[in-house]
Structure 1
């Protein structure tokens, strides 16, 4: 028998190259056009967002990120407490994720053949189900919103019901299905009509939930274990009650862990803080990407999955062209391995406990701090009307001028004077949310504690508050003139 070997063509041969090093240098291109950053966005993209950045003084031009830190065009270092809205749970440019992505590119994988299946996708699905062993199937998508859309479709197909139920102040995404379950009207205005069978109830209200479910028209109840907009916490028995009621009325219980999942709250899933909670679907995204390649996933029960993909001719009734691509799957695998190997969840729990204790101590000293809440490294610091007459008058005037303005008068000096990047937890919301990388160390915690303490103390000086308000107005005038 003749032993045949087939020579594999080189990349340069396949693509017509000579094999010489490529002159294509993206870093040089970005450096050359750095001064055009805001003008390019104003001309070709979202000019209003550029105006917002200039108005609040955040137009410093970040050029580098590593771990929980950012550097601007002047070389100043910042501590990032937004982490890309929770995407960078491992911090920016984590070496394990970078190495995984490089290995995929260097491996010349047969990516997205479509008439095949991905080994990496199977591995990532297996690792996710290990974290939720009461579920059996995984559907991959490209984002959290796209995963929510899939969950809506799956729930309707599985139950034959039209209704979807969500909570006030919820946020599940901005595509049409997920937008129909958005608890903030500012996101909905101008985009109607939305899905006609979407219904809203108060968060943490089991009586309202049972009343809505009693119609037996609700396919699924979507709930964030901790609400991102405001960092609203449930009662200790709420999720257990949700599970009981959903099972009683045949409604699918969907836990939206897009922001709370993968260690954010000091447990792998936020639902893990509560004994015996086993939703019918768990939706994840954000941190699963490792910050490089967008990826989302719906973890679900097999019976639900089988109602959707029930025959061979329906094997492709729902999908997405780029879902299960090898770069996204590799990023997910590397992220989950890193969370385990570097004890990321444990660090989030410990650092979160420390910071929550520090903020609660501040709340005892500063009358403007009305509440501190959260779990792990998902923390909300809420500001409210003070008791003293001078501060109360200032608070009322600021809130009359612009609801939620006081939160900006905390965020701006944190950014300008202490190089701490953070923002309020929602539109017109007086709560500042901390959503940092889960890799924070003790020095980072000291940076956070000292910065917030100094800014909050200064905010109790009414002249300082008015000075900050004047600064904000000056930024607005500057932005209008430059626009």
Structure 2
């Protein structure tokens, strides 16, 4: 008996139309951007920290799907769990029963933050943030949420209200009542808290944009200030959580920090099924869900579905059994130290920062006369073009996929899958050094491409 729907046959027949289909039916600017910078590759399959094209060439993944692929692509344990849960034919999402998988995943997840008690499951990092914002405002009875300048917490209306970049916010007002404070500025935090209307401060322990870490002692001091004013601390661990920085959560790098709410997503999915989670203290959840009348006051149609819960349980099992966090610490230190050693060699390389496998490489104004003019030309056209000039040859010539860490930033962010190994470190360093050698030679294809980017930047003004 032939199947009425053959996915493999459909992809074989129409897969080559991928860019045309996207241009016609989805966001037309994405394929346009990919064509412009030469990122319009056709990847056929993926495994671990690598992609493969139709010719069998392998590409090193330093993005992990923006952090989603924590265990790399197609981890066999997570894959088996997904097959298993589908084969069980569970009575999923009846909405009027209590299935075991959400409870089991919540129990397992909470062992990594023993000061927290309960979990709400949604479908993404943005949903996890939205949940935290709603819960904080309801639990405190206050309207205003503080966030840090340059923060990124998502793009839905609530999470956009605590987004620190005007480029994302412009044109979408009015948003929630909010106020930005500089990461690390305790005086500004105290000043806002004294106004008495602050529900919470939401903070990334390491900001994804630019890879900026909260200063030592800041989270603990901020927590104390918030408690004095009966406001909550929300830790956004959507990108930094689940081992990314060499601890299970990034806030755990600082002793005594115990957020009231923690947002988790991305790597918890294993890369297969979207899942987000908001972890919180018992009293907050009991205030939100204060009676049977309020049992559905905050819910998600696909939240806590069996496939997502099975993937989450499998991910946590792999992390424990394969000692993923310890491996991240070791590999991250190796990658960071080898990059730091290059600062004295390349004048365009100004800083290497971050923790674990979340590393920022920042470029800055060169000292030599021959490079200063070229740098100034790029900066006049658009800040961030040099970082883009590095990202493109890394992919084109060395088959290494990286990203610029935010608009108008001369920073590349490295967030490879957590299964990234020593051989992968060697490959990245070799490719990166070759690109830096080309940039410092003052000529060649890299600076020719820079002229193309300048023309594009000027045309878009």
**TM over 0.5, yes or no?**
yes
Q: Does 1:254 align with 2:237?
A: no
* 2:128–2:278 Cα contact (<8 Å) kept: yes
What CA distance in whole angstroms lies between the structure 2 residues aligned with 1:470 and 1:439?
A: 37
* 1:54–1:476 Cα contact (<8 Å) kept: no
1:172-211 equivalences in 2 (<5 Å): 172-195=153-176, 197-211=177-191
* 1:60–1:73 Cα contact (<8 Å) kept: no
What CA distance in whole angstroms lies between the structure 1 residues aligned with 2:456 and 2:53?
A: 19
What displacement does 1:31 show? 2.2
State TM-score, norm by structure 1. Answer: 0.93
Q: Does 1:80 align with 2:54?
A: no
What displacement does 1:403 show? 1.6
* 1:356–1:379 Cα contact (<8 Å) kept: yes
1:347-366 equivalences in 2 (<5 Å): 347-366=327-346
Residue-by-residue CA offset, 1:290-345 (whole Å, 9 max, x unaligned): 00000000100000111100001111101011001000111100001111111111
What displacement does 1:26 show? 1.2
What displacement does 1:472 show? 4.5
- In structure 2, the partner of 1:377 is 357
* Other structure's SS at 1:335 match: helix
Residue-by-residue CA offset, 1:429-467 (whole Å, 9 max, x unaligned): 100000000001111111011011111121112223422
- In structure 1, the partner of 2:130 is 149
What CA distance in whole angstroms lies between the structure 2 residues aligned with 1:274 and 1:100?
A: 34
Say if 1:21 and 1:267 are closer, same or farther in 2 by CA, change over 3 A: farther
Residue-by-residue CA offset, 1:169-190 (whole Å, 9 max, x unaligned): 0000000000011111111112
What CA distance in whole angstroms lies between the structure 2 residues aligned with 1:158 and 1:144?
A: 21
1:23-102 equivalences in 2 (<5 Å): 24-102=5-83
What CA distance in whole angstroms lies between the structure 2 residues aligned with 1:68 and 1:33?
A: 27
- In structure 2, the partner of 1:398 is 378
1:215-294 equivalences in 2 (<5 Å): 215-294=195-274
What CA distance in whole angstroms lies between the structure 2 residues aligned with 1:276 and 1:164?
A: 23
Q: What is the root-mean-square deviation in Å for CA atoms of aligned residues?
A: 1.7
What displacement does 1:471 show? 5.3
What CA distance in whole angstroms lies between the structure 2 residues aligned with 1:177 and 1:322?
A: 20
Gaps of 5+ in 2: none
Question: Looking at CA atoms only, which structure, 1 or 2, has the larger radius of gyration?
Answer: 1
Residue-by-residue CA offset, 1:113-147 (whole Å, 9 max, x unaligned): 10011210000000111010100010111100011
- In structure 2, the partner of 1:167 is 148
State TM-score, norm by structure 2. Answer: 0.97
What displacement does 1:393 show? 1.0
- In structure 2, the partner of 1:446 is 426
What CA distance in whole angstroms lies between the structure 1 residues aligned with 2:262 and 2:254?
A: 15
* 1:63–1:71 Cα contact (<8 Å) kept: yes
What displacement does 1:242 show? 1.2
What CA distance in whole angstroms lies between the structure 2 residues aligned with 1:400 and 1:436?
A: 32
Kindly tell me the number of residue pairs found equivalent between the two proteins: 459
What displacement does 1:402 show? 1.8
What CA distance in whole angstroms lies between the structure 2 residues aligned with 1:88 and 1:296?
A: 14
What displacement does 1:213 show? 1.2
* 2:247–2:253 Cα contact (<8 Å) kept: yes
* 2:243–2:325 Cα contact (<8 Å) kept: yes
- In structure 1, the partner of 2:413 is 433
What displacement does 1:473 show? 6.8
Q: 1:423 aligns with which of 383, 392, 403?
A: 403
* Other structure's SS at 1:215 match: coil
Gaps of 5+ in 1: 1-19
- In structure 2, the partner of 1:303 is 283
What displacement does 1:468 show? 2.6
What CA distance in whole angstroms lies between the structure 1 residues aligned with 2:141 and 2:5?
A: 53
